[in-house]
Structure 1
Amino acid sequence: MTDIEKFRVPGHSDLAYIPDFVSEAESDYIVKKIAESPLPKWKNVPTGRRLQYWGGTLTKTNTLIPEALPAWVTQFPDLIDRIKDLGVYSDSKIGQPNQVLINEYRPGEGIDPHSDGPAYYPTTCSLSLLWPTLLFLHPPPPPTVALNSIMDLTPPDLPPIVLLLEPRSLLVLQGEKYTDWKHEIKHVFEDDFGAVEVVNREGLKGKKVQELVGEKGVGRKVKRERRVSLTFRTVEKVGKGLVFGR
């Protein structure tokens, strides 16, 4: 079993960052299999960005109507077993991810601040492929302080924390970071790596990515290229009499 504790982000016990979670050959193979997916598998969000769902879809009552996961996440590479070995789903009823969401991000495409909602066990694992990106995590707004019946004091929003996700890395998001915080990828054509201070700097492994970040204020602006992510989630409410396959 992988000791996930050594990959925890300093100061954030509900975040873990694992570089090189898959090899270059495995990454190439996954990207190839995604490209070979039947065209109806691709869905478009209103902004035009494309995604795929594997493992089944949710009903209006947040029940999973399961389908078998593809062999390229269960056999080669054996991503489901690798994630299971992290122990982050050991307290869930299912014990492992049973749904995979694939997001494609072309230059200029991102995702607005959001949370995944209560349908899922409060842990998600996201595998990044092809290109690095900056992920912004927004804390919940501080409560309004009542001064009197006429005026309330609303404190300013707390700043987000930022993670740099390298290609082939896995980000584990748990607890309050999952339930109460929102995550975002900016809709931009280039990332300004010098404008932010990434909290997982110590966990970065790729020399090229470390050069992009540099020190705060002196990192580089880099034009984006295509990125693909695989987000592994667990739906604990599964339709009776149905089997989610592997």
Structure 2
Amino acid sequence: MIKEGRVVAMGNFRQHVGFASFLGVLYAWGGAVVMGVHWMYGSVAALLATVGGLLPDLDSDSSIQLRGFSGLLGILAAVAVWQDIDDSPVEVPFELHLWSAIVTYVLVRHGLRRTLSRLTVHRGMSHSVPAALIWGAVTYIGYPAESHLLRVLMACAVILGFLSHLLLDEWCSVDLVGRRVNKAFGTALKFSSKSASATLVTYVILAMLGWWVVHFWPADPFSGGFPKPEFHWLETPETHSLHTW
């Protein structure tokens, strides 16, 4: 991208959000048309693709993505912890639910941001193709659904959004009018970095998560198709009487 005669080496926040969300909506629409994915799952996939478009810039200490996404991730983590406790066979009091959610939010919101700012460098291995696969594996493992295809759908949505960020950064590193390439070209869509230790750690993490994904992978991955959402609460007698009243 060219701005006032200068070459901008990367897309800005709005461009990344817009591009990732556009691809996410297109991905959800394609899933609905080709594979019959329910609109509710498609909307979540589009959202995850948009979130995935913000992930590469979490290695920037001052980025809007890091400040905003760590808060969003804190909320999602708190909701996930609440749901896990609620689904446990042991009855847990409300107060423990509440404190577990609050502690989870604080740890993710502030602890994650400070940890990432200390351990990562901008345009490092967290801004690479292997990192996209890592986030996809994390989504597949952590998405709360029994359906294998549904978890694959969400994992691919995150990978799509992540790669959209890398592609946009590479595109903005090329000046087609001046027929030149910015020095930042090749630092986004990459498989390794100048740091051998960072590259090694990234691939070790990817290998561990890959083994975990293989462990969950079913023998017949395409059996059953995509599930339809079940709204059991609509079928309860209490709700039915409330609506009729």
Higher normalized strand content (fraction of residues): 1
- TM value normalised by structure 1: 0.24
Of structures 1 and 2, the larger Rg is shown by 2
Provide TM-score, normalisation by structure 2: 0.24
